[in-house]
Amino acid sequence: MDNRPIGIFDSGLGGLTAVKEILSILPQEDIVYFGDTGRVPYGTRSRETILKYAKQDMAFLQSKNVKMIIAACGTVSSVAGHMGDTLPVPFTGVLKPTALAACLATQNKRIGVIGTTATVKSGAYQKAILEIDADIQVFAQDCPLFVPLVENGFTSPDSDIVLSVLRHYLQPFAKAEIDTLILGCTHYPILYRAIEKVMGKGVFLVDSGRETAVYAADILEKNGLLSGRAQKGRCTFYVSDSTEGFAEAANIFLQQNVQQTVELIDIEAFSQTHYVN
């Protein structure tokens, strides 16, 4: 048993989808979450910048003595996932568990992937899926406006603005006749109902936050790292920009008051640390 916290990071609010699922699956675990709200989004950045940000984010979490690190960010998982191999604690991104879940779900072997521009350009999901099943056809589409929608509170499936943006990006999948769609950014499950409305009930949506939480729980159990406490765990949140804006959004999404557990940090202070090689 190990009562140290689980470390989770994302470029902003998206990683809360993973937090929500872990709280459901492993309610006794402590969680330290870092949302890089001052530098969101990651998906439009260069590879070099994404690597720099990921290194700083991982270093910060290690300074909090976490027992596992989860990159709840599709962009980091696709572009900088290899950095997890250098960590002294177990690591997972969203890529592997999400790709596996999609391959198990598809019936017609036609899978769609939506993600940030950096994620789609990396080809990481396509590669991961084809390594699992070479017969699957993968259709990918970057959706650069999805993260700004979520970060600014536009998530309702009844919103004309939301539906207009979603239809713009999701239209090509109708011709592709996919039966499974990977939500390849942890912001996207927050748009789940709106995406489902546009795609229709015949397309199965793979929630990267949910699949990553299930996968992480399995890793913790296999490594004997589950918490031994009986009581409910505690969540502590850190951000690189406004604590008020983050707390308001997190309160709504997690359905709990996080106002007193959100702290502003200087993530740039972790650029020259010994935590990550």
Q: Which pLDDT score, from 0 to 100, does residue 277 have?
A: 46
62-118 pLDDT tens trace: 999 999 999 999 999 999 999 999 899 999 999 999 999 999 999 999 999 999 999
Is residue 67 in some structural domain? yes
Query: Final residue of a domain: which of 187, 208, 229?
Result: 208
According to DSSP, the residues that pair with 110 across neighbouring strands are 137
Looking at 103, 143, 185, 235, which residue is catalytic? 185
- 136 and 111 share one domain: yes
End-to-end Cα distance, the chain = 27
- 190 and 123 share one domain: yes
Tokens (6 digits) for 91:
């690591």
Q: What mean pLDDT comes out for the span 272-277?
A: 50
CATH code, 124: 3.40.50.1860
Query: Final residue of a domain: which of 162, 191, 208?
Result: 208
- Placement of tokens 């980091």 in the chain: 76
- 119 and 191 share one domain: yes
Check: CB of residue 243 under 8 Å from CB of residue 35.
Answer: no
| HSE value, Cβ hemisphere, 13 Å, CA-based, for 141 | 21
- 60 and 102 share one domain: no
Whether the pLDDT of residue 164 is over 90: the answer is yes
Check: CB of residue 192 under 8 Å from CB of residue 183.
Answer: yes
How many Å apart are CA 41 and CA 145, to the nearest integer? 10
Interior angle at CA 258, CA 252 and CA 260, nearest 5: 145
Is residue 48 in some structural domain? yes
According to DSSP, the residues that pair with 264 across neighbouring strands are 239
- 257 and 126 share one domain: no
Is residue 273 in some structural domain? no
How many Å apart are CA 169 and CA 164, to the nearest integer? 9
How many Å apart are CA 266 and CA 207, to the nearest integer? 31
Looking at 73, 103, 143, 235, which residue is catalytic? 73
Q: Which residues contact 145 (CB under 8 A, 6 or more apart)?
A: 165, 169
Q: Which pLDDT score, from 0 to 100, does residue 126 have?
A: 96
Q: Which pLDDT score, from 0 to 100, does residue 252 have?
A: 76
Is residue 41 in some structural domain? yes
- For the chain, the domain total comes to 2
Widest CA span in the chain: 51
Q: Which pLDDT score, from 0 to 100, does residue 249 have?
A: 83
Known catalytic membership, residue 73: yes
Domain that holds residue 124: 95-208
183-214 pLDDT tens trace: 999 899 999 999 999 999 999 999 998 999 99
Query: Final residue of a domain: which of 164, 182, 208?
Result: 208
Is residue 53 in some structural domain? yes
Known catalytic membership, residue 235: no
Least confident of 19-28, 58-67, 125-134, 245-254: 245-254
Is residue 238 in some structural domain? yes
Q: What mean pLDDT comes out for the span 142-167?
A: 94
